[in-house]
Amino acid sequence: MTPILITDKLTKVYTGKKKALDSLSLEVQAGEVFGYLGPNGAGKTTTIRLILDFIRPTSGSAQVFGLDSVAHSAEIRARIGYLPAELNLWNNLTAMQVVRYMANLRGMKDLRYALELGERLEFDFTKRIKSFSTGNKRKLGLILALMHKPELLILDEPSSGLDPLMQQRFNQLMLEAQQNGQTIFISSHVLSEVQVICDRVAILRNGQLKEVARVDSLTTADYRAVTLRLREPAPAGVFEALPGASQVKVDGKVVRLNFSGEFDPLMRALSPYYVEDLDLQVPSLEEVFLTYYGENPTNGNNHAQKSGVGAKEMTK
Ligand SMILES: Nc1ncnc2c1ncn2[C@@H]1O[C@H](COP(=O)(O)OP(=O)(O)OP(=O)(O)O)[C@@H](O)[C@H]1O
Ligand SMILES: [Mg+2]
């Protein structure tokens, strides 16, 4: 495998602040769709701006196409497609004027793919940028990032502001780009938005990389989210004592827990109780992540130990 993007202990401290990015070491392989996930303020945009040399690292370094991100920023930028988090330029130009301008800069003559992208995203090239909604700015940003079919796409929250139909079209464009051999680095704060297109996802929190995982290893979560409604309340201890049970929450007659392994012990523990309702859910990828990396890391660790799926195993 060839890494196309490498960061080595990449760190950024904005003046007088805590570390916005704290020693990030990451590799993105050629041809993969890599999701870069984290809540607001996690450091996603900071990472992207460092990679593109819009800001300089406090320490550490990044390489794109094997080139140092600071020493070779011009060449790197020429070979990538970048969608910024916010597109706030060229307010008085029409979208078509912007597309022509960018095509000229890139030495492109053939605008057919740009127009095709516009059609598929139901985008109107004749309007002025200042009249665009957030979603339409996002579409223009996508067209500008994709139209030259670059080797590497770096997209900062591409799907925010897109309605569900456009989100689907966007996903399709990403899959086509991947089939075309392009590598995609995509930031998002919503896992469910990117899980269908990503091969791997990284989780960033407070500037620190928490985990890198293959999406297919996560979708086969080995536990079920169980909700029980009992006729009479039962003490939490009944469930907490069971091997395979974690995250037990008792709220009156309603019991919620995650359960892994064979169900017989749970059934036996329930035999003294009258069960009015039982619901079993395969957790979504988002829930799996929250279980491991949620606000309460102790719970996640407990679960990881009990179920035998350690966080590290998820990296394979
Ligand atoms: N120019 C700046 N000057 C000072 N602090 C900054 C600057 N840009 C970002 N920060 C701080 O750095 C941290 C990381 O911000 P960043 O924008 O990288 O997060 P993000 O993950 O992109 O968040 P979001 O999901 O909201 O886009 C935040 O605490 C933010 O307040
Ligand atoms: Mg951001």
Burial of 126 (0-12, 13-18, 19+ CB in 10 A): exposed
Among 19, 22, 46, the mutation site with the greatest number of ligand 1 atoms within 8 A of its Cβ is: 46
Give the pLDDT of residue 94: 95
Residues at Cβ < 5 Å from ligand 2 ion:
44-45, 85
Regarding predicted confidence, which is higher, 198 or 292? Answer: 198
* pLDDT band at residue 311 using 50, 70 and 90 as cut-offs: very low
**Ligand 1 atom closest to Cα of residue 45:** 22
165 in Cβ contact with 159 (< 8 Å): no
Among 14, 52, 185, the mutation site with the greatest number of ligand 1 atoms within 8 A of its Cβ is: 14
Which residue's alpha carbon is at the smallest distance from atom 6 of ligand 1?
A: 14
Q: How far apart are CA 22 and CA 210, in angstroms?
A: 11
Tell me: pLDDT of 304 over 70. Answer: no
* pLDDT band at residue 309 using 50, 70 and 90 as cut-offs: very low
Across 68-74, average pLDDT? 97
CA-based nearest residue to 218, from 168, 294, 292, 167? 292
Q: 46: CA distance to ligand 1 center in Å? A: 6
Q: Give the pair of three-digit tokens for residue 170.
A: 């966007």
- pTM for the full predicted model: 0.79
Give the pLDDT of residue 48: 98
**Ligand 1 atom closest to Cα of residue 55:** 1
pLDDT tens across 154-204, in order? 999 998 888 989 999 999 999 999 999 999 999 998 887 888 899 999 989
Percent of the chain beyond pLDDT 90?
70
Cross-strand partners of 72: none
Which residue's alpha carbon is at the smallest distance from atom 14 of ligand 1?
A: 43
Q: How far apart are CA 268 and CA 300, in angstroms?
A: 26
Q: Which domains does the chain have, with CATH numbers?
A: 3-218 (3.40.50.300), 221-315 (3.30.70)
The Cβ of residue 72 has, within 10 Å, a number of other Cβ atoms equal to 17
* pLDDT band at residue 223 using 50, 70 and 90 as cut-offs: confident
Give the pLDDT of residue 312: 33
Burial of 234 (0-12, 13-18, 19+ CB in 10 A): middle
Which residue's alpha carbon is at the smallest distance from atom 1 of ligand 1?
A: 14
Judged by its nearest atom, the ligand closest to the C-alpha of residue 204 is 1
Q: 42: CA distance to ligand 2 center in Å? A: 8
221 in Cβ contact with 306 (< 8 Å): no
**Buried b / exposed e along 28-58 (16+ C-beta atoms within 10 A):** beebbbbbbbbeeebbbbbbbbbbbbeeebe
